[in-house]
Amino acid sequence: MRINPGLLPAAVASLLLSLFLTAQPQLTSAQNRPVANANAAASTTANPADIPLQHCDRLPVVILQVNNADKRFLIDTAATSMLNEKSFPSGHSKELRVQSWNQTTALNAGVVSIGELKLGNHILRDVTLPAIDLSVLAKACGGPLDGVLGVDLLEQLDITIDLQRSIARVGVGVAAPSSTEVSVIADMEQAMHSCAEAFNNADTTKLAACFDPDFVLSSPAGELRGRDQATNHFQQKYFGLDPRVHFSMTLNDQRAVGNVVWSLYDYTIESANIHITGRGMMLCRKSENHWYILSMHESPLDSAANRAR
């Protein structure tokens, strides 16, 4: 998935989703995240078409063909995909973790298997998604919704969302960023380099200054909320280790909207005894000439390399 200028308003959808999830019953434990089945296979053609977006209030909606039936999906670039149980009855339920822009919520959700999911000339087959009651979300945006199209399926379908033109583009790159956007991104990258140095030097004061007071870090393991909680977590888990751990981050697929930068990134945390790799999504904002990290959503890679040595 690529992020086009004008994408930031889509975060409103995720904000609504996070408010909706807050009202759901909480579970004491949950181990699984609702992502598209790893066996889902995508097929494409060489000339993908621009697909017009619809709207639910001011939020972007796209029509997907699900098992040859048109379904309305709210686009949410900071959430995982899910279905409305009113539109997709499920045969069984399980405990799952649902991610929105500022939280990961445990829910008891139905599980639905989809034979074919199609957007334009891109097709995913044998997709498994959670199904929950999205009535509150549909009511909030003022129209019917059959599901949420999140970052997991957006990436698999290779979709670019262009809110300025109100289209979804399948398998097509976005225009090169403007000189202003390049400058903003470079400024943010320099600030993130200083934050990585603070982590590697175990400097809790400088690291804390990188986080917004309401910073949120979400991962399959749980959630950290607030600058102090995040800083204390890193200090207790990593800063006392000998030999010291080293953190590195590679930023990619970045977009700037005003003083906000949205980035996808790959990261490693390693020492002689630890090796952790993963991917994530980060939202940063510049305020009073200082860059703050608003949120990070991380997914450690599930591999034999992610283990204590």
Q: Do 26 and 43 share a domain, yes or no?
A: yes
Q: Is the pLDDT of residue 161 over 70?
A: yes
Q: Where are the alpha helices (DSSP H) in the chain?
A: 11-22, 135-141, 151-157, 179-200, 204-208, 227-234
pLDDT per residue as tens digits for the range 180-198: 889 999 999 999 999 999 9
Question: Which pLDDT belongs to residue 7?
Answer: 39
279-282: long-range pairs with CB below 8 Å, 24+ = 281/78, 281/151, 282/251
pLDDT value at residue 194: 94
- Domain end point (choices 119, 149, 170): 170
Say whether both 296 and 221 belong to one domain.
yes
One domain for residues 219 and 92:
no
Closest CA to 43 of 158, 161, 168, 151: 158
What pLDDT does 263 receive? 87
Q: What does the pLDDT average to over 11-19?
A: 43
Q: Please give the C-alpha separations between residue 283 and each of 93, 140, 188, 253, in angstroms, as whole numbers.
A: 33, 24, 11, 12
Q: Which of residues 118, 140, 170 is at a domain's end?
A: 170
- Indicate the burial class of 111 (C-beta count within 10 angstroms; 0-12, 13-18, 19 or more): middle
Q: Are residues 165 and 185 in the same domain?
A: no
Tens-digit pLDDT profile for residues 196-211: 999 999 999 999 999 9
* Residue 88, SS3 per DSSP: coil
- Total structural domains within the chain: 2
Both 160 and 215 in one domain: the answer is no
Please indicate, yes or no, whether residues 276 and 162 belong to a single structural domain of this protein: no
Do 198 and 302 reside in the same domain of the chain?
A: yes
Q: What is the pLDDT of residues 49-85, one digit of tens each?
A: 688 898 877 788 999 999 999 999 998 876 778 899 9
Q: By mean pLDDT, which of 46-55, 207-216, 244-253, 288-297 is the weakest?
A: 46-55
Q: Bridge partners of 223?
A: 218
Q: Do residues 89 and 118 both lie within one domain?
A: yes
Verify that 224 and 296 share a domain, yes or no.
Answer: yes
Q: 292 and 155, same structural domain?
A: no
The predicted structure's pLDDT at residue 43 = 40
pLDDT on residue 151 = 77
Higher pLDDT, 122 or 208: 208
CA distance 106 to 96: 6
pLDDT, average across residues 92-116: 63
pLDDT band with cut points at 50, 70 and 90 for residue 141: confident
Q: Report the mean per-residue pLDDT for the chain.
A: 76
Q: Is the pLDDT of residue 215 over 70?
A: yes
Domain limit, last residue, from 123, 144, 170: 170
What pLDDT score does 42 carry?
43
Report the alpha-carbon distance of residue 50 to residue 162 in Å, rounded: 10
Band the pLDDT of 89: cuts 50, 70, 90. confident
**CA 186, 191, 192, 197 torsion-angle sign:** positive
Which CATH number covers residue 108?
2.40.70.10
Give me the pLDDT at residue 304, please.
41
The phi and psi torsions of 206 (rounded to 5 degrees) equal -70, -35
| CATH number of residue 198's parent domain | 3.10.450.50
Residue 12 has pLDDT above 70, yes or no: no
Q: How many CB atoms lie within 10 A of CB 102?
A: 24
Alpha helices of 59-167 — where are they, by DSSP H?
135-141, 151-157
SS (H, E, C) 227-274: HHHHHHHHHHHHHCCCCCCEEEEEEEEEEEECCEEEEEEEEEEECCCE
| pLDDT at residue 169 greater than cutoff 50 | yes
> Any idea what the Cα angle at residue 216 is, between residues 157 and 207, rounded to 5°?
115
Q: Are residues 165 and 82 in the same domain?
A: yes
Domain that holds residue 196: 179-308
Of 8-12, 239-243, 292-296, where does mean pLDDT reach its minimum?
8-12
The Cα–Cα gap between 108 and 94 comes to 6
Do 270 and 130 fall within a single domain? Answer: no
- Residues 6+ positions from 8 with CB-CB distance below 8 Å: 257, 258, 260, 262
